[in-house]
């Protein structure tokens, strides 16, 4: 299989745009097909850990992002009612010192905008109203035809499926299979700090409680507070994976929680409700000239705050592989490099759900107490676990 000159990417999310930018910087022509009629991102905050920042820095985005970020002082886990700290890991300057890159909070829309501008500057072709339905391999021409819903086709050397957990590319590659509802939903929202009646600590904070947890952190230099409230549910009857949430129902679900939590929710005007879905580890990530990236191949619960980071890492490494060798060799190498890491972080994220939700009653609380003791008596043990995530450098 020949070398790569032109790539079509299905999906203009964070992962798809990161891949397009990384490829364009390697001299590969990148075409991004996006089903939406305009470019933008739903959602709210993202935690960009040092492993993600190393890639964004390599792609030349650090300076453009800096005006939009907030730098948290600590990563913490606190008790839902008392506010007691079970974990308090320093970030800020210590993150830079330890990992050679910062830990930033950024609004998803800001990161998306910076990526779009960088892609356009590098000559990436962004095609809107372009829903990819399937692809056709053309072995004789060493190409793949990417077919759109409106009948248009794009020829390329490689097709990257960065089209999310309901990926059409994954479906054609591996067959139809609905994602698995993980028994949890996430309420997300953003509150202007000017609307709050109390001060929120400048940390990335997880509030752990029975059957649910709450995440809060600042965005845009401290102008907003982002929240994610996760609640265990037995089922999800809505046909939509995301819908407008009932803010009063959210407040009721977290009534009696710490004043910082109740204060944020008291000031929240609206929220969106997401079903948290997942998949078992895929047998393969690539077939012929099609390959998967991000949530299309390794969706994960958001309890390590690594979903976007993993897509960004995928994008950079896939671009490097494709620019150094034949298609067949590149896709094998990409999967070999990425699958062990993403599978491990999927497992870590799933395990954190039990910790944050105090699963097991008294035993769940005991696990948090054990974490508290370990963080005080042997902080290097906690730090080592984080080192495997934050210390990784995809650019090397």
Whether the Cβ atoms of residue 298 and residue 170 lie closer than 8 Å to each other: no
Q: Rounded to whole angstroms, how far apart are CA atoms 81 and 96? A: 32
Catalytic member of 99, 217, 218, 392: 217
Judge whether 99 counts as a catalytic residue.
Answer: no
Q: Rounded to whole angstroms, how far apart are CA atoms 382 and 368? A: 13
**Pairing of β 224-232 and β 242-244:** unpaired
DSSP letter at 70 equals B
Q: Rounded to whole angstroms, how far apart are CA atoms 32 and 54? A: 23
**Pairing of β 74-79 and β 85-90:** antiparallel
Going 66 to 68 to 72 to 73, the CA torsion angle's sign is positive
Number of other residues whose CB lies within 10 A of the CB of residue 380: 9
**Pairing of β 153-156 and β 212-219:** unpaired
Q: Rounded to whole angstroms, how far apart are CA atoms 359 and 365? A: 8
Catalytically active residues, by annotation: 217
């Amino acid at each position: 299989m020949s070398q790569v000159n032109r790539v079509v990417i299905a999906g203009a999310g964070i992962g798809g745009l990161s891949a397009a930018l990384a490829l364009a910087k390697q001299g590969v022509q990148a075409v991004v097909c996006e089903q939406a009629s305009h470019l933008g991102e739903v959602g709210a905050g993202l935690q960009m850990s040092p492993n993600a920042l190393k890639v964004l820095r390599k792609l030349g985005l650090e300076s453009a992002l800096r005006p939009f970020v907030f730098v948290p002082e600590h990563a913490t886990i606190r008790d839902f009612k008392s506010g007691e700290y079970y974990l308090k890991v320093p970030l800020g300057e210590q993150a830079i010192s330890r990992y050679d890159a910062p830990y930033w909070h950024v609004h998803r829309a800001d990161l998306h905008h910076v990526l779009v501008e960088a892609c356009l500057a590098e000559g990436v072709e962004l095609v809107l109203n372009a829903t990819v339905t399937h692809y056709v391999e053309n072995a004789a021409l060493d190409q793949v035809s990417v077919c759109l819903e409106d009948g248009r086709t794009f020829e390329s050397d490689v097709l990257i499926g960065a089209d999310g957990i309901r990926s059409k590319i994954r479906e054609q590659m591996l067959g139809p299979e609905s994602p698995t509802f993980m028994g949890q939903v996430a309420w997300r929202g953003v509150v202007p700090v000017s609307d709050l009646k109390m001060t929120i600590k400048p940390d990335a904070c997880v509030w752990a409680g029975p059957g649910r947890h709450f995440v809060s952190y600042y965005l845009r230099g401290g102008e907003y507070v982002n929240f994610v409230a996760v609640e265990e549910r037995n089922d999800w009857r809505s046909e939509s994976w995301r819908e407008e949430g009932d803010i009063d129902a959210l407040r009721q679900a977290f009534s009696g929680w710490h004043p910082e939590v109740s204060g944020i929710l008291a000031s929240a005007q609206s929220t969106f409700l997401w079903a948290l879905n997942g998949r078992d580890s895929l047998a393969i990530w690539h077939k012929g000239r099609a390959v998967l990236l991000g949530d299309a191949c390794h969706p994960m619960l958001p309890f390590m705050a690594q979903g976007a980071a993993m897509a960004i890492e995928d994008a950079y490494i896939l671009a490097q592989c494709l620019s150094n060798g034949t298609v067949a060799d590149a896709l094998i190498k990409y999967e070999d490099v990425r699958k062990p890491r993403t599978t491990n972080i999927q497992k870590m994220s799933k395990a954190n759900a039990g910790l944050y939700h105090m699963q097991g009653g008294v035993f769940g609380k005991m696990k948090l107490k054990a974490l508290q003791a370990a963080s005080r008596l042997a902080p290097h043990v906690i730090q080592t676990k984080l080192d495997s995530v934050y210390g990784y450098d995809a650019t090397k």
